[in-house]
Structure 1
Amino acid sequence: MKRAIMRNVQNVIFLLYTFVSGVFYLCFYLVSIVLGLALSFTVVGIPLLTNVLRTTQTFVQHERIQTKIYTDISIEPFETRQRIEGNQWKQAKAELMDVRNWISVYWLMQKFVLGCICLVVGVLIYIAPVCFAFIPLLYPFVELHFFGSVVDSELKALQIMGLGFILMIGCSKLGSGLVQLVGGYTRLMFKAIRG
């Protein structure tokens, strides 16, 4: 029982992490790339784009590690890329022309959509049933509505609590499946980047 509870807590953390990291990747790459392109006519834009594209390898490796920790899906790491020798402009050209960088940016930014889905589903299948279990403690103090019906008696509160316990048991399999799908997304991302 304790192991199942810990696994469900781990699943909730991973689903929320997926949302937060998806928001971060979208904001970081969208702002950085637009700013780098807008400033590309100056001396600042190209180095900014170069440094932003260098972060893709770090973030992709971070996603691999998080997937391994939370889903136990093993993915082979990338070989670390060596920087091109030469001046800053040769390095910038190498980073900008590397297709793997742009594929990584695409897959990392796409994680925002997956993160939004994970947030909604995670709240519905993990957090809502726990809230239902506390209805008998809350209904005397707070006016609660459940599907258009006012929870004003102990019987209704106990029925909702029972529904919460049933959902907790039934939805844990659904949550585990969603976590495995998110892990599969990371595996697909690595496959696409490798080519």
Structure 2
Amino acid sequence: MLERIARLLTRTFEVLIVTALVIMGVLVFGNVILRYGFNSGIAISEELSRLLFVWLIFMGAVLASAQRTHIGFDSLQRLAGPRLRRLLVVFTGVLILIGCGMFIVGGWAQMRINLGNFYPVMGISYGWLYAVALVFGIAMIFPVCNNIRRAWLGMDDALTEDLADRIESQADRMSSNRPDQQADKP
């Protein structure tokens, strides 16, 4: 169940990130063209781009956690054996869950405080800006709990591998499956 929720969140966040990037790109590019070419602009461009960028960062963090590609300090983990590595994954997962709780509580408080403040041009509440912390804290729980469960049960030793090794092995698999290289082979 946790794995299915984590996959659904991953796919949803991938779509939302792409959508946010497209909207930001169109707004900023269009605004630059209009400013320099026609001496006008898109009024909501700056505010909406800034809001989308904040959401993009936090959604990207959830996505990186779900795909286990987030930045981590793994020097100690590399020195440990497989069993201790699993315990370290569980320990760091618990610390991340505590951080998620702090994001949820703080995000909720900031969102409520800023509900009465509005963006000057867009006219929407600043609560939308601070709601990202609440959404992030809740969404991050699922991939982290899934990682903890898999490490605790020893289901996925790839969780405890070095990230550089995982990336290298994935790149090798991808390059061996390329059709243009298949055609060159005798």
Is TM-score (shorter-chain normalized) higher than 0.5?
A: no
TM category (shorter chain) comes to: 0.3 to 0.5
TM-score (norm 2): 0.32
TM-score (norm 1): 0.31
Larger CA Rg, structure 1 vs 2: 1
